[in-house]
Structure 1
Amino acid sequence: MDWIKIFDSEEEAARELPLTKAKQIELNGRKICLAHTRTGFYAVADACPHLGESLSKGTTNYLNEVVCPWHSYRYHLISGAECKNRTRDAQTFPVENRSDGIYIGMPENS
């Protein structure tokens, strides 16, 4: 696992990505949807598994899901599971809040 630092602190992360918002970042050539919910920061592959729209253009909800802006498919930010099993799961990436910043774990072969 390749751990990539994306913010120097949780405070910086919260300034850059307000609560309930998502944004696209690029790591190791991959587009990632970074989401901020009441339970923390989460990362999933940005392309919706249904038809490929950017999940970072969507919203988050109180169930810890990111909602695709095209067809409202909902993906759980921890497991990646689509809430009604209509399509394959979204790929998730671990996020760690360390003393020196926020990191995302990327598989070494990605």
Structure 2
Amino acid sequence: MEWIKIFPSLEEAHRRIQTGKPQLLIVNGKRICLALLDNGFFAVQDACSHNGESLSKGNINYLGEIICPWHNYRFDLRSGKACDSSSADLKTYPIKVNETGFFIGI
């Protein structure tokens, strides 16, 4: 796994990413949806596993689920698990924060 620096600090990540508003990142050619919930940052693949729509265009509900804007498929941001059995789970990406920055593992 390669750790890619996204922000110079956790504080900068909090300035740039709004709670409950998914954000598209393109990291090493991969489209990643980054989200901030009350309990931390989470990163999943940006493409909905049902039909490929960008999840960063979707919404996050009070349960911490990302909702696809096309067909309302829901996925748990913490685990990437589909909230029903009709769609595949999402790939998740680990996040690491230390004194040198905010990183996503690819």
With the length of structure 1 as denominator, give the TM-score of the two structures.
0.91
AA in 2 matched with 1:38: D
Structure 1 residue 81, shift from structure 2 partner: 0.6
Alignment match, 2:51: 51
Aligned residues: 106
Structure 2 unmatched runs, 5+: none
Q: How far apart, CA to CA, are the structure 1 residues paired with 2:95 and 2:16?
A: 16
AA in 1 matched with 2:82: E
Structure 1 residue 85, shift from structure 2 partner: 1.7
RMSD value, Cα? 1.0
Partner of 1:34, secondary structure, is strand
Structure 1 residue 99, shift from structure 2 partner: 2.2
AA in 2 matched with 1:19: T
Q: How far apart, CA to CA, are the structure 2 residues paired with 1:22 and 1:98?
A: 23
Alignment match, 1:105: 105
Q: How far apart, CA to CA, are the structure 1 residues paired with 2:82 and 2:68?
A: 10
Identity of aligned residues (%): 50
Structure 1 unmatched runs, 5+: none
Partner of 1:4, secondary structure, is strand
Partner of 1:15, secondary structure, is helix
List per-residue Cα deviations over 1:9-49 (Å, max 9, x = no partner): 12211111111111111111111111111111111110000
Q: How far apart, CA to CA, are the structure 1 residues paired with 2:99 and 2:64?
A: 24
Q: How far apart, CA to CA, are the structure 1 residues paired with 2:38 and 2:101?
A: 18
Q: How far apart, CA to CA, are the structure 1 residues paired with 2:89 and 2:73?
A: 11
AA in 1 matched with 2:22: A
AA in 2 matched with 1:55: L
